[in-house]
A and B are shown apart, each in its own frame.
Chain A
Amino acid sequence: MNQTDANKQNSRVQAQASPGFDAFVEQWRQPVVVPDDPTFADRVMNRINKQAAVFSLRKNYKWMAAAAVVTVAAGIGLGRLLDGGYSGTSDTNQIVSAAYDLGLSGYETNPYEFLIQDSNE
């Protein structure tokens, strides 16, 4: 429906509306009385202040949680290093895999050891 049609239809509906209906709308249209509340702004500001305090606490918790995660991750990494473990994609690891494929068992922990021993002999 274009705007002109809507206007026409609006006028038609309003013309058809009985005085009773329009009177109802008029009564309903009377302004709502807003109660006086001198402390309203204070209450809102108090809630905002509390919210800010909680937010700041949450922010601190977030930092602490992040620091804890980093510490644990670093600990795990360090632990693996000290254990002499190897991570998935290192060259050493690939050589170990190749050694397995070739049936050169016994050298999986350090494939270079075989070469070193060999050259010493």
Chain B
Amino acid sequence: MDKQHWPELIKNGDRETFRELINEYRPLVYRTAARFLTNPDDCDDLTQEVFIEIWNSIHHFRGEAALSTWIYRITVNKSLNHLRKGKRLGWFLSRPGHQSDDGEPVSGPDATSSKLLNNEGARLIDAALAQLPDKQRTAFILTQAEGLSQKQAAGVMNMSESAVESLIHRARTSLRKKLKNYYTN
């Protein structure tokens, strides 16, 4: 079945097509959520919520952007909302991004992506990223981890390409500053 027709079919209540869409886009949603959230259970819950949101609001999708762009947008918004709500405050305070008294990021043991990658560099970047403003963090994740072009990231974030470029630059500068004690020049 051609993916281009999926939105129309799903709008008409085609549950089998929606099931295909879930199987197709689950990795994208989970991967993106895992860059924001560090708890695997939260990632799974959020992935479910993203697909429920897709089902509920598919009639808002007008096909002006790619379906994947729209799905990225929902995933990013849900992830940021989840963090803002601080649903799991205890876990949040002990996450890698939480600063110690001397202002340095604390390396937490529970980062999904870091745990899977099992390396110090990834863990440090995760920790420092968690301290960046939402937009810088989102731009950095979408382009550097998900491999989206600046144009695609701009579509997801509903911004101009130059704004995204500037966010990425600021994110890199901040990360370097935060991690300056952890790498050798």
A1 and B117 contact, Cβ closer than 8 Å, known pairs A13-B172, A24-B179, A44-B51 = no
Contact between B22 and A17, CB atoms less than 8 A apart: no
- Find out whether the CB atom of B144 lies under 8 angstroms from the CB atom of A29: yes
CA–CA, A85 to B82, complex, Å? Answer: 58
Residues A27 and B183 in contact, CB atoms below 8 Å apart: no
State which residues 37-87 of A face B: CB under 8 Å: 37, 40-41, 43-45, 47-48, 51
B-binding segment of A3-11, A88-96, A97-105, A106-114? A3-11
B19 lies within 8 A of chain A by Cβ = yes
B122 & A33 in contact (Cβ 8 Å cutoff): no
CB–CB A29/B145 < 8 A: yes
CB–CB A6/B172 < 8 A: no
- CA–CA, A21 to B26, complex, Å? 31
User: Chain B interface mostly helix, strand, loop or mixed?
Assistant: helix
Q: Is A116 located at the chain interface by the 8 A CB criterion?
A: no
A116 nearest CB across to chain B (Å): 64
Taking A26-B121, A28-B117, A28-B121 as contacts, is the C-beta distance between A3 and B165 under 8 angstroms?
yes
Taking the complex as formed, is B119 at the interface, i.e. its CB lies under 8 A from any CB of chain A?
yes
Residue of A nearest to B176 (CB): A21
In this complex, the interface size class of chain A, counting residues with CB under 8 Å from chain B, is 35 or more
Could you tell me the dominant secondary structure of chain A's interface residues? Answer: helix
CA distance A103 to B165 in the complex (A): 83
Q: How far is the CB of A45 from chain B (nearest CB, A)?
A: 7
Q: Which residues of B contact A51 (CB under 8 A)?
A: 52, 56
**Across the interface, do B30 and A34 meet the contact criterion of CB distance under 8 Å?**
yes
B48 interface contact, C-beta 8 A: yes
**Which residues of B sit under 8 angstroms from A33, Cβ to Cβ?**
116
Task: List residues of chain B with CB under 8 Å of any chain A CB.
Answer: 15, 18-19, 22-23, 26-27, 30-31, 34-35, 40, 44, 47-48, 51-52, 55-56, 112-114, 116-117, 119-122, 124-126, 144-145, 161-162, 165-166, 168-169, 172-173, 175-176, 179, 182-185
A-B contact pairs, 12 of them (CB 8 A): A1-B166, A3-B162, A10-B169, A21-B176, A25-B175, A27-B119, A27-B121, A27-B122, A28-B145, A37-B44, A41-B23, A48-B55
